[in-house]
Structure 1
């Protein structure tokens, strides 16, 4: 309809044509400044793996003696052919998503990666196509969005290197020039990796806990490429990520919970709120090891079973100390709406007043209100505060060499000494009459490597092998670290423990030989 002068307030704005305006290189630079934290970015890439049907994913750090070199994420999903790779690496292209896909906007792979690294390489293969790869760099994007084609021979070699994961199909995402790695000072790589992996393990265990509980195998591994003649290097750490269920208590903090509340939300309809009350003073990892308790009370929003917000009241109320036991699970509606919106990084939900008004009116099947639920959570907190608790002595935390599952239980059961370096377990060359030795200066227990094969049933042990032996030694030796004066009686105890343990190891070895005979 032609424009008639004097009708400037009409609803539809008239147009007379259109012009194609390609993005400026500045848009590419903006991809590197999306505010993706390291853990959030890795989780976003694993979302892509899950969407591709992967049930096995490995986050792989490569390092040498001095530096952390690169990060790779490997999965056994359906993979991509050349056309699929081009689509995935096209900046600004949004692909079609399935009804239950975790991907949303089509920018996560590029934005998450280039917010953390200067170079992104993706190598993939399908059942019907050979390995192929593409590489995006910050410089290439600024150069008219150039995408490089990876040498097919390198692509095949990389896929072959991870044939234990990628059997018939899968994808490798590689980050080079990772900014966080490049800031690590010489000699600080071990400390940085230990802290980075701990944060990553917690984040992935929490935000992907429903997938992990359903069987997703997610591992974090560290390989030192300078420690072996093998071009793959040697594995120096390996963690199987376990689910951190924010509702995983064994007994609720209040009888009758969890309860289902129905909230009438304008623009959406009835929404289900599953209200939980944790037991007071719980030491379980899903309660205490996912962040400050004051920040973890409130709503836990899920989108297609993927946690996208872990705590917070979204304007309904302010966090209060006596509500730290209150957590509410909410599954976002499958259809688009104007009431609840998720940010591009998938870590925060923005709500309108329609949601908070609906929560105010929420009731369960017996007519109990949401406000009564908050009162029950407060009562559970106050009742728990009045109970007398046995105080356990703080310990120096366990570190590398102890199985992550064991470390998690130790953290649940025992408080940690503040400011103490974790106790590390490693294998080394020791005299035949020593089962272990102590490097108290570096908080390390050195185990005699001559006994390693016996405690791994003849197999090559990994970084976290012999979990029972190491855990028993940790419990025995924990109080030998962090001391001022080293007493003769303590040294005598270490000496007779060594004598007895060597005898036990010899007996174990003899039994193994008799079994084989």
Structure 2
């Protein structure tokens, strides 16, 4: 039908044809500037591993003596063949998701990776296909979205290196030329990596806590490729990510909680709200170690058990100090709707007024309103602040070499000295008459590696081995760091502790050798 001026205000704009307009290579710059934080980007890739059925995932940092080189994420999911790899690396291609998938938009792998690395490599194999790989680089995108095929020999070698994780099937995602790694100043790699791993551990422990509680094995490992046997190198740190449950208290802050409220939301239907009140002054990691208490009050939205927003009232009200104990779990409805929208990075929910109006009208099974819940949370906070506690002496925080589970308990039980670098515990070459030494300049407790096997039942042990012995030494020695003048009495204490511990270590060795005989 020819266009008639009188129809200019009609709802459907008339057209006369169409053409396909593929993305220009300049879109690559937009792809690499999606605003992904480092931890958010890694979490997005782990979502892909979970969707692939993986129950074992390792985030693997490779470094040498002075630099951080590469990041890899390895999983034992069902893997991809050549066609699957081509589809996964196609920019703008949206795959089919099942009703429980964590993926949504089909851009996470490329956008999350290229936001941080100039080169993304994916190597994978299935039960029925050989190892294969693809590489996407910033230069390749500018060259008409060119994707390189990885040499199949290298692909097989990479899979074989991780045979403790990938057995019959699995995937390796590799980031090279990571921009934040390349900007680390000379001599600052250890500090940067320690901080990056701590933030990553907390983020993954929080946002994937339901999966971790159900048995997902998620580790963070660091290998120094300049040492060891020349292939993977030597493991210098290893952390098993533990769940950080934002609702993991043992006793609620008010009897009768949590309570279930039902909110009638126009355009969605009924939404269930699980309203919790934390106990005041809780020291548990799920309360204290997941960020600012004011920011962590409010709604915790989950999509298919994956946390996608950790706190915030979404326009219902502003954060307030007397509501820091209030947290509300909301499982998003399975069907798509126009009321609750998840951003592409999967860290924030945008809501329309229909949601907040529904929450305002929410009631529980007894007819109590959501406002009564907020009032209870305020009362619990005010009552809790009246109670006094014995002030514990702050400590220098524990660092690398101590099992993360122990570090978490220490942080829950003891306040940290502000501005102090964590104390690392490492095995080192020391004289025969020294069980330990202090490197106060680098905040490290050095252990005589000649005794290492004795504390690991004859085995080599990992980066976080001998937890009991290391914990006791940390508790004894943490106050030796961050001091000004070094007193003679303190040095004398170090000397006689060494003498006594050397005797104890030799006695342990004799017992072990006798048991073997």
State the TM bucket, normalised to the shorter chain. over 0.9
Q: C-alpha distance in 1, partners of 2:128/2:340?
A: 41
Q: Which residue of 2 aligns with 1:277?
A: 277
Distance apart, 1:51 and its partner CA: 0.2
Aligned to 2:29: 29
> Deviations along 1:288-312, whole A, 9 cap, x unmatched?
1000000000000000000000000
User: 2:143 & 2:479 partners in 1: Cα distance?
Assistant: 59
What aligned pairs does 1:397-416 form with structure 2 within 5 A after superposition? 397-416=397-416
Cα deviation 1:256-282 (Å, max 9, x = unaligned)? 000000000001111100000000000
Corresponding position of 1:494: 494
The equivalent of 2:482 in structure 1 is 482
Task: Give the distance between the partners of 2:103 and 2:483, measured in 1 at CA.
Answer: 51
For residue 5 of structure 1, report the CA deviation from its aligned partner: 4.2
Number of the residue aligned with 1:74: 74
| Partner in structure 2 of residue 221 of structure 1 | 221
In the other structure, the counterpart of 1:87 is 87
1:139-191: per-residue Cα shift (whole Å, max 9, x none)? 11111110000000110000001010000000000001101101101110000
The alpha-carbon deviation at position 510 of structure 1 amounts to 1.4
How do 1:1-150 residues align onto structure 2 when only pairs under 5 Å count?
Answer: 3-150=3-150
Report matched runs for 1:162-311 at 5 Å.
162-311=162-311
Match for residue 321 of structure 1?
A: 321
* Alignment correspondent of 1:507: 507
CA distance in 2, matches of 1:153, 1:241: 32
Q: Find the counterpart in structure 2 of residue 154 from structure 1.
A: 154
In 1, the alpha carbon distance for the partners of 2:350 and 2:515 equals: 64
Separation in 2, partners of 1:400, 1:9 = 67
Task: Output the TM-score relative to the length of structure 1.
Answer: 0.99
Which moved further from structure 2: 54-63 or 426-435? 426-435
Indicate the residue corresponding to 1:417 in structure 2. 417
Mapped to 1, the partners of 2:515 and 2:254 lie a distance apart of 53
C-alpha distance in 1, partners of 2:419/2:296? Answer: 25
CA drift of 1:512 comes to 1.1
Instruction: Give the superposed CA RMSD.
Output: 1.0
Q: Distance in 2 between matches of 1:131 and 1:259?
A: 50
- Give distance in 1, aligned partners of 2:117 and 2:50: 22
- State the 1:3 CA deviation: 4.5
Deviation string 1:404-423 (CA, Å, 9 cap, x unpaired) is: 11111101110000111111
Using the TM superposition, give the Cα deviation of residue 2 of structure 1 relative to its aligned residue in structure 2, in angstroms: 5.6
**Structure-2-length-normalised TM-score:** 0.99
- SS of 2:248's partner is coil
Q: Which runs of 4+ in 1 moved over 4 A?
A: 1-5
CA deviations over 1:401-460 (Å, ceiling 9, x no partner): 111111111011100001111111111222222211112222211111111000000111
Q: Which range moves more in the overlay, 216-225 or 24-33?
A: 24-33
Query: Is the deviation greater in 354-363 or in 494-503?
Result: 494-503
Structure 1 residue 11: deviation in Å?
2.1
Aligned partner of 2:432 in structure 1 is 432
| Residue 491 of structure 1: how far off its partner (Å) | 1.8
Alpha-carbon distance in structure 1 between the residues aligned to 2:311 and 2:246:
10
The separation in 1 between residues aligned to 2:82 and 2:445, in whole angstroms, is: 50
Q: Which moved more, 1:2-11 or 1:499-508?
A: 2-11
| Mean CA deviation greater in 226-235 or 177-186 | 226-235
Q: Aligned residues, how many?
A: 517
Give the Cα–Cα distance (whole angstroms) in 1 for the partners of residues 5 and 319 of structure 2.
55
Question: Aligned-pair distance for 1:90?
Answer: 0.4
Matches of 1:76 and 1:231, distance apart in 2: 21
Task: Tell me what 2:341 maps to.
Answer: 341
Structure 1 window deviating more from structure 2 (475-484 vs 336-345): it is 475-484
Q: Deviations over 1:115-155 (max 9, x none)?
A: 11101000000000000000001111111110000000110
SS in 1 for 2:264: strand
C-alpha distance in structure 2 between counterparts of 1:487 and 1:11, whole Å: 84
In the alignment, the residues of structure 1 paired with residue 29 and residue 491 of structure 2 have an alpha-carbon distance, to the nearest angstrom, of 60
Aligned to 2:7, what secondary structure does the other structure show?
coil
Q: Distance in 2 between matches of 1:68 and 1:450?
A: 29
Q: Which secondary structure state, in structure 1, belongs to the residue aligned with residue 134 of structure 2? A: strand
Per the alignment, residue 393 of structure 2 pairs with: 393
Provide Cα deviations, 1:310-354, integer angstroms capped at 9, x if missing partner: 000000000000000000000011001010000000000000000
Any idea what the Cα deviations from partners look like across 1:74-99, whole Å, max 9, x if unmatched? 00000000000000000000000010
